[in-house]
A and B are shown apart, each in its own frame.
Chain A
Amino acid sequence: MPFGYVSPEQVMKDRADYARKGIARGRSVLVTTYVDGILFVAENPSSALHKVSEIYDRIAFAAVGKYNEFENLRQAGVRIADLRGYSYDRTDVTGRMLANTYAQVLGTIFTTESKPYEVEITVAEVGETAVGDQLYRLTYDGSVADEQSYVAMGGNAEAVSSRMQQDHRDGMALGEALALGVAALSTADGEQRTLTAAQLEVAVLDRQRPRRKFRRLLDAQLEQLLSS
């Protein structure tokens, strides 16, 4: 039957398959809690095109998938956060608000645009204490999940997740969490690879820092942490 009726289920399934395929092509990103906040580890050989970025004082953004699409979302997020912080107060900008906005935007794009966004993102907010740390995982169709402890996204997400499930524990030191994260990302198709500092993009939301908690770990710091 060359043309005619296509069921809504089929349309949604096709779109979801399309988005999932796009996301699965990319390298993985891991977001995990550690004793002083939240750690982001991404396999990303580029030092200019980031997968992990600062949104606001306590909030950061990690993404996998199509660069131009998640970059669009990131910039919109920075504008939303700065607009809210400027019109109200810095403490009124929250990860939950941002996650809700992204969920609506992604949901609308998924159902109304000619193609869905091929992205998966995590909005992370660091709290005053570990109890206040929040991780929101958002998928291409606007689904949002409030995750505990860690989120793995991208092509190899399942393998990374299972490694994390095995070894993650609350209250890990930065070095320990980083070593685990790198080990988890190195597990691909049942094989172990070696990831060097130059192939990694690493950042933290460190609750010990004043005001702006986001900090990138540069190659030299990374090598030092990885070797110790």
Chain B
Amino acid sequence: MDVFAEGGKLPNAFFAPASSSFTDFLAAHRPDLLPGKRAQATEGLTIEAPHGTTIVAVTHQSGVVMAGDRRATMGNVIAQRDMEKVFQADEYSCVGIAGSAGIAIELVRLFQVELEHYEKIEGTTLSLDGKANRLSMLIRNNLAMAMQGLAVVPLFAGYDVDGDEPATAGRIFSYDVTGGRYEEHSFHSVGSGSVFARGALKKLYRDDFSEADAVTACIQALYDAADDDSATGGPDLTRRIYPVVTSVTVDGFRRLPDNEVEQSTQQVVDDRMTQPGGPIAPLR
């Protein structure tokens, strides 16, 4: 990669004033590196590539928890059983992805650089809404690929440092393939198992959740998703592969260590030995 295409001088794009977006810079200087700008495949052709599945997020009294199962599928084959689908976006936010795995991971990488780039150029971080809107734009740029079956549907969550109080600072945003951005309240889920996960969360969610409660609710919801959706992977006790669980609070982003997740997951699995359907909600 030669940045000195004009002999000793950097191209003007490097000195463009008032551009703090890395994506805009790429679009001006190296459009070939943008995920959505890739040479399009022939129309009508769908490509078979690994797909990621279920992501859940739950807000609680001091922030928000996001978790994802570990399975990627390609048709009816399990493409990967220990895939990571929840990522740190920056110090105070995280993003989970469902859909076409390869493109989704590249998109997350671009999103991470986008946030850090803004922070370094401007000397200040974007607001949580600003971050959510940038992600929206990245998804919209991928629309052409989505039409060919390579859709990416992320779930974005973060701790709003400009918020009034910790209990309402954890916020969740969902997206559609056209880049539409929707703020969700309390909890949300995306991916093929999301219908079942959301059903579970609807019965499990309480307003006064602590961080630990939210983690348990996420694991329960993922278990229910895996129970009814073949593309979602349940906890793999024999290989010790457990969901990826992350938490964002006023102290920043944290990925829960494997032994912590193992404990909570083991508890959920043990309880299901006697009650396979999970906790029973009161009828009225």
Contact = CB atoms under 8 A, between A and B. Distances in A.
Contact of A76 (B8, B14, B22): B14
A79 interface: yes
Interface string B96-133: 00000000000001100100110011010000000000
A121 to B, nearest CB: 15
Interface residues of A, number: 23
Contacts of B117: 78-79, 82
B10 A54 contact: no
Where chain A touches its partner, the secondary structure class is helix
Nearest to A71: B17
Nearest to A50: B123
A87 B106 CA distance: 11
Given A50-B123, A54-B120, A76-B15, A82 B9 contact: no
Name the residue among A86, A105, A212 with the largest chain B CB count within 10 angstroms. A86
B257 to A, nearest CB: 14
A8 to B, nearest CB: 18
B45 interface: no
B1 A86 contact: no
A78 B9 contact: no
Interface in B9-48: 9-10, 13-15, 22, 25-26, 29-30, 33
B15 A75 contact: yes
Interface string A86-126: 11000000000000010011011000000000000000000
A48 B116 CA distance: 18
B74 interface: no
B236 to A, nearest CB: 28
A84 B117 CA distance: 13
Contact of B14 (A55, A79, A108): A79
A83 B15 contact: no
B261 to A, nearest CB: 20
Interface string A49-78: 010011100000000000000001001101
Contacts of A105: 8-10
A101 B3 contact: yes
Contact of B123 (A53, A86, A107): A53
B121 A78 contact: yes
A85 interface: yes
Given A84-B1, A105-B9, A53 B120 contact: yes
A80 B10 CA distance: 10
A55 B113 CA distance: 12
Contact of B33 (A79, A87, A101): A87
Nearest to A102: B10
A76 B13 CA distance: 9
A147 to B, nearest CB: 24
A101 B14 CA distance: 12
B191 to A, nearest CB: 26
Nearest to B20: A75
A108 B8 CA distance: 6
Contacts of A104: 4, 8
Contacts of B1: 83-84, 87
Contacts of A212: 116
Contacts of B3: 80, 83, 101
Given A53-B120, A75-B121, A83 B8 contact: no
Given A72-B15, A76-B14, A80-B3, A86 B110 contact: yes
A75 B109 CA distance: 20
A52 B121 CA distance: 12
A107 B8 contact: yes
B121 A108 contact: no
Contacts of B26: 83, 86
Contacts of A50: 123
7 contacts: A82-B120, A83-B25, A84-B1, A86-B113, A87-B1, A87-B33, A105-B8
Given A54-B120, A75-B14, A75-B15, 11 more contacts: A75-B121, A76-B14, A78-B120, A79-B22, A79-B117, A83-B3, A83-B29, A83-B30, A86-B113, A101-B3, A108-B9
